[in-house]
Amino acid sequence: MSRRTSREFALQGLFQIDVVDADVQSAITHVLDQEGAEVDPMFVRDLVSGTVARQDMIDELLKKYSVGWDLSRMANVDRNVLRMAVYEMLFHPETPSHVVINEAIDLAKGFSTPESGKFVNGILAKILPEVDALRAQAGQ
């Protein structure tokens, strides 16, 4: 089971929730019902439900570190890649943050625009030095 593919599926679920206002369970079910995918369903569920459950806190962080960018003006894919990456950095300490950032860059480049990778990297690089303190604040 590929974590990369699981992240792609989780991103699809987050996109559905954000753009078409799907409910969390429906979005998760929809992405997991795709045939032929080698994904970790528990990881997909956790990324989607955890990101949504902590979205307000994550969005506050993104507002703080994306100076000059209103979240509503960000590309939908970029916004959801960032949300998911921040969630994983804070609540999955077993995954090194540099791995999460590289995966987020690849997702942004693959599902948005070539420039999106730089945009995502820039914001996550600003958050990275604060990860330990942010984990402590979040009770991790």
pLDDT at 48: 98
Domains of the chain: 3-137 (1.10.940.10)
Tell me what pLDDT residue 68 has. 85
- pLDDT value at position 140? 63
pLDDT at 130: 92
Q: What is the pLDDT along the chain (140 residues), one digit of tens a residue?
A: 689 999 999 999 999 999 998 999 999 999 999 867 789 999 999 999 999 999 999 999 999 999 888 898 999 999 999 999 999 999 999 999 999 999 999 999 999 998 999 999 999 999 999 998 888 887 76
CB 61 within 8 A of CB 127: yes
- pLDDT in the model for residue 9: 96
The pLDDT of residue 124 is 98
Residue 7: closest CA among 29, 23, 31: 31
Q: Burial letters for 19-54: b for 16+ Cβ neighbours within 10 Å, e otherwise?
A: eeebebeebbeebbeeeebebbeebbbbbbbbbbeb
